């Protein structure tokens, strides 16, 4: 197993047990410019892609996972597997300018046409 698959497996195992949302996560999810639902966060941690791993985080090992809302809006979730539960630290809509390069790298290396369509719409939401 790789470090990537280890952390994703740990996140998924903890998700199956229980998810706990820290107060900061709820504040960020409920901002009017975000409005991220609990079900959308669950979908990201169950099916999303690992973007960054933070093994030395002061709160304990955490990671950043990337996924989508049903309307193809991208979501970032920072979470920390704790053994008996998954702690959701925050969830937010990423700034596309800040995250364009990693997304383009995924786009270039992925053969999944549906993912490519989603990434194109994320980079230019006005393009059909």
pLDDT tens per residue, range 42-87: 999 999 989 889 999 888 899 999 999 998 889 999 999 998 999 9
User: CA–CA separation, 53 vs 34, rounded Å?
Assistant: 24
* Cβ pair 83, 14 in contact under 8 A: yes
Asked if 72 and 101 sit in the same domain, the reply is: no
64: domain range?
A: 3-94
Q: Average the pLDDT over each of 34-43, 77-86, 94-103 and give the range with the smallest value.
A: 94-103
Q: ∠ CA(53), CA(102), CA(22), 5° rounding? A: 40
User: How is the chain split among helix, strand and coil, in percent rounded to 5?
Assistant: 45, 25, 30
Asked if 33 and 87 sit in the same domain, the reply is: yes
pLDDT of residue 6: 86
Asked if 72 and 25 sit in the same domain, the reply is: yes
User: CA–CA separation, 120 vs 98, rounded Å?
Assistant: 16
Task: Tell me the pLDDT band of 122, cut-offs 50, 70 and 90.
Answer: low
Q: What is the pTM of this model?
A: 0.74
Asked if 67 and 105 sit in the same domain, the reply is: no
């Amino acid at each position: 197993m790789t470090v990537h698959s280890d952390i994703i497996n740990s996140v998924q195992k903890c998700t199956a047990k229980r998810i706990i949302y820290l107060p900061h996560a709820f504040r960020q999810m409920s901002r009017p410019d975000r409005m991220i639902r609990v079900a959308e966060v669950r979908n990201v941690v169950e099916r999303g892609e690992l973007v960054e791993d933070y093994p030395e985080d002061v709160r304990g090992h955490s990671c950043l996972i990337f996924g989508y809302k049903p309307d193809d809006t991208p979501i970032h979730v920072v979470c920390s597997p704790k053994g008996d539960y998954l702690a959701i630290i925050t969830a937010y809509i990423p700034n596309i300018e800040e995250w364009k390069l990693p997304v383009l790298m995924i786009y270039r290396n992925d053969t999944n046409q549906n993912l490519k369509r989603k990434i194109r719409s994320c980079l230019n939401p006005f393009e059909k």
